[in-house]
Amino acid sequence: MPHVSMVLSPGFQFLALGVQAAFELANAVEGEAYYTLSIASVEGGPVTSSSGFAVPTVPLAEVGQVDTLLLLAGLTPPPRQDEATLDTLRIIARESRRVAGLCTGAFLLGQMGLLDGRRATTHWSYARQMREDFPNVRIEDDRIFINEGAVWTSAGLTAGLDLAVALIEKDLGRDAAGAIARRLVMHHRRAGGQSQHSELLELAPSSDRIQKAVIFAKAHLANPLTVEELAEVAALSPRQFARAFRAETGQTPAKAVEQMRLEAARLLIEETRHPMDSIAREAGFVDIRRMREAFMRQYGQPPQALRRLAKAP
């Protein structure tokens, strides 16, 4: 009987506890107690949420054999945990079949060293901080959830339900997962390859000149969008523009343009049935080959695979 333990850290967001509903409904769908559940913390005792409510927890070491370890955190990334806490989490994670960091819980996995060399996601607004904190992790901030072997991460809080349903699908199959999604009144069961809000790729330059260049680029993706072209829009020299752009956005103009094109292409892939060659041209990739190369660099999958994921029932 797989045991699912939800581990709370101080300041956790209460909504994250909603993932237990998916496992509870799995038991109802199966007609038996397939999963057992616990709410734990490293030390046990009441843990206070970000809204001020305290939840009783059992010490993690007393939970017993954990099949699925879910790390829940707050609306902001958790601070660096002490080594004793991280060692306890590492031991339980190592003995578990799988471990997941929900939303900012992914930062805990990063602190444990479990994300090194892996792909991971988190809430889009903290993706840049996660890149800075964990340079050995490949952050994909345009994903609902990511499964890397025994390690899972999810985007914002409601994406935790998508991850939970995906975990259940691994155990009980697609029919059960679909039934649970319907019981949860989820609009549809989102595959992990789907985008988070398009805002996640919004650049936030502070100056009017760089903002103007970003707006121009988004509206003219079919253009070459060279540094020279964007610099002219911003009324700066190419060298001044490149330096100012990176200082204000944290990215080079070329990288930002590629992200805009990837976002535009992904939306078309997920929401339309347009042929891939048409999408490539519309998003400014010129041809399918270049679009495919960009998708492989960013997502590790070709566009066709992401369309299949997005259309999955």
Task: List residues with catalytic annotation.
Answer: 103
Cα distance between residue 84 and residue 13, in whole Å: 23
115 exposure class (CB count in 10 Å sphere: 0-12, 13-18, 19+)? buried
In the block, residue with structure tokens 């992790």: 137
| 67 alpha-carbon distance from chain centroid | 22
Q: What are 70's two structure tokens? A: 């879910």
Cα distance between residue 60 and residue 38, in whole Å: 9
Amino acid at 81: Q
Residue 274 near residue 205 (C-beta atoms within 8 A): no
| 153 alpha-carbon distance from chain centroid | 6
Q: What are 271's two structure tokens? A: 């929401």
- Name which of 123, 128, 197, 118 is nearest 152 in CA terms: 118
Cα distance between residue 180 and residue 187, in whole Å: 12
Phi/psi for 147 (5° steps) reads: -110, 115
Cα distance between residue 127 and residue 119, in whole Å: 12
- Name which of 188, 181, 102 is nearest 145 in CA terms: 102
CA–CA distances in Å: residue 121 to residues 107, 140, 145: 10, 5, 6
Residue 139 near residue 127 (C-beta atoms within 8 A): yes
Cα distance between residue 16 and residue 6, in whole Å: 9
User: Beta strand pairing status for 145-148 and 151-154?
Assistant: antiparallel
